[in-house]
Chains A and B, each alone.
Chain A
């Protein structure tokens, strides 16, 4: 199956700092990438969908100025959590889908802890 990587796998930062998470499709071109957030023992919560070269579409309740998404190439999308606060601590997972794909493949996730 297709491989999606995420970096970093975990990050600890101070409150008020910004954190960037990278998501890469390693063996296919991802025309669409998705960013999810997951709290312990809960299901995936879709934050936003981005198509290469276009602005991301954010789900209701997700602050686009807080969670900046860039999908500048067919293999890379980034999520920047700006001015992170402890309530932003969570597990962030990206997912990617290629042009010829119906299904989507997930990255391993990034655990963010904001102190």
Chain B
């Protein structure tokens, strides 16, 4: 079993839809949770970063963490074609040194 599971998609939605991207994890020692966006042929860009259970909002993006269920989500409201990218979840273990584990990434297509 992978430490972090993420459905690779692709996920195709119409413009304006609410997008829900999810990751599950198995190690309860993960302390920090991130979402990165990666456009084709570019490096990943940090979107959201949180360390506690609950919701964190930034514009059209909401990151949700449920530590009891070992489940994190990224919601995108009013999705735009420019949101079409691969979204990677990532989690950090702090066990005497930070170790980041990435999900496989979900490819999102937002159709105009």
Contact = CB atoms under 8 A, between A and B. Distances in A.
Interface string B90-110: 101010001010111101000
A111 B42 CA distance: 9
Contacts of B75: none
Interface string B42-54: 1111100101000
B41 interface: yes
Nearest to A44: B102
A107 B34 contact: no
Contact of B44 (A41, A93, A102, A111): A93
A24 B90 CA distance: 22
For chain B, what secondary structure do more than half of its interface residues adopt (helix, strand, loop), or is it mixed? Answer: strand
A4 to B, nearest CB: 8
B61 interface: no
A67 interface: no
A102 B46 contact: no
Interface residues of A, number: 21
A109 B92 contact: no
Contact of A103 (B32, B41, B103, B107): B32
A97 B45 contact: no
Question: Which of the listed residues A4, A103, A107, A111 has the most CB atoms from chain B within 10 Å of its own CB?
Answer: A103
Nearest to A32: B98
A44 B88 contact: yes
B43 A107 contact: yes
Given A105-B46, A106-B36, A108-B43, 4 more contacts: A32-B98, A43-B104, A102-B98, A108-B42
Pick the 9 closest A-B CB pairs, nearest first. A106-B43, A109-B43, A43-B104, A108-B43, A106-B44, A102-B32, A93-B43, A43-B105, A107-B43
Interface of B: 31-32, 34, 36, 41-46, 49, 51, 88, 90, 92, 94, 98, 100, 102-105, 107
Interface of A: 1, 4, 6, 32, 34, 41, 43-44, 91, 93, 95, 97, 102-109, 111
